[in-house]
């Protein structure tokens, strides 16, 4: 087998596994003693739906057609783990990625291009418009932030694809 393919499969497996483990740990902390799931911070996702959504978001898979974009407008909030536009949970890729990657766009308009997480936190409390793909009810994989491309449609850069976090927003891969 080609060495590049083996490396690519290993990287995708690691990224996928880390997202699944994080979702599983998070969901397991959200189960009461009777074995019933209790919403976390108003979160309505079950364990399997959260794992599926996180996996799809990490790999750039859309449930249906990625070009079927949905726009949500409202006040951005952050509970220390997740970002929300009103009651819609909005996702920007794996936590490790947004925590270490410089943003190509100054989304919060403070004159400084910062890490993606800092740009997003700079928008908290403001009215924003996000466009993306609804992976399930109230879970949006974000492609456009306030009219500025965040990433291309298709396999994202954090999963070995060409679709960067600063794509042109017109289809990508």
3-state secondary structure the chain: CCHHHHHHHHHHHHHHHHHHHHHHHHHHCCECCCCCECCCCCCCCCHHHHHHHHHHHHHCCCCCCCCCCEEEEEEEEECCCCEEECCEEEECCCHHHHHHCECCCCCCCCCCCCEHHHHHHCCCCCEEEEEEEEEECCEEEEEEECCEECCCCCCEHHHCCCECCCCCCCCCC
Q: Supply the pLDDT for residue 3.
A: 63
Nearest to 48 by CA among 156, 133, 135: 135
Q: Supply the pLDDT for residue 30.
A: 42
Give the model's confidence band at 54: pLDDT under 50 very low, under 70 low, under 90 confident, else very high: confident
pLDDT over 50 (residue 21): no
Q: Supply the pLDDT for residue 129.
A: 98
pLDDT tens-digit series, residues 111-151:
999 999 999 999 999 999 999 999 888 899 999 999 999 98
pLDDT over 80 (residue 91): yes
User: Is 5 buried (19+), middle (13-18) or exposed (0-12) by CB count in 10 A?
Assistant: exposed
Q: Decide if 168 contacts 19 (C-beta within 8 A).
A: no
- How far is Cα 45 from Cα 27, in angstroms, rounded to an integer? 9
Give the model's confidence band at 34: pLDDT under 50 very low, under 70 low, under 90 confident, else very high: very low
> Chain centroid to CA 153: how far?
13
Pairing of strands 139-145, 88-91: parallel
In the chain, where are the structural domains located? 3-159
Q: Supply the pLDDT for residue 1.
A: 57
- How far is Cα 78 from Cα 83, in angstroms, rounded to an integer? 4
Nearest to 150 by CA among 117, 127, 126: 117
Q: Supply the pLDDT for residue 86.
A: 93
Q: Tell me the pTM.
A: 0.68
pLDDT over 60 (residue 41): no
Provide mean pLDDT across the span 151-170.
65
């Amino acid at each position: 087998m080609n060495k590049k393919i083996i490396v690519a499969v290993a990287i995708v497996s690691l990224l996928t596994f880390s997202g699944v483990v994080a979702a599983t740990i998070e969901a397991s902390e959200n189960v009461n003693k009777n074995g019933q799931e209790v919403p976390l911070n108003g979160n309505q996702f079950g364990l399997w739906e959260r794992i599926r959504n996180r996996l799809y978001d990490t790999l750039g898979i859309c449930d249906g057609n990625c070009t079927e974009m949905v726009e949500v407008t409202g006040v951005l909030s952050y509970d220390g783990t997740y970002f929300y536009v009103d009651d819609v949970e909005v996702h920007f890729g794996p936590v490790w990625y947004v925590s270490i990657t410089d943003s190509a766009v100054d989304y919060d308009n403070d004159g400084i291009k910062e890490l993606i997480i800092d740009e997003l936190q700079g928008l908290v409390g403001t009215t924003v418009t996000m466009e993306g793909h609804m992976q399930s009810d109230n879970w949006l994989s974000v492609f456009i932030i306030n009219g500025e491309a965040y990433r291309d449609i298709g396999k994202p850069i954090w999963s070995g694809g060409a679709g960067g976090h600063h794509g042109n927003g017109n289809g990508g891969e």
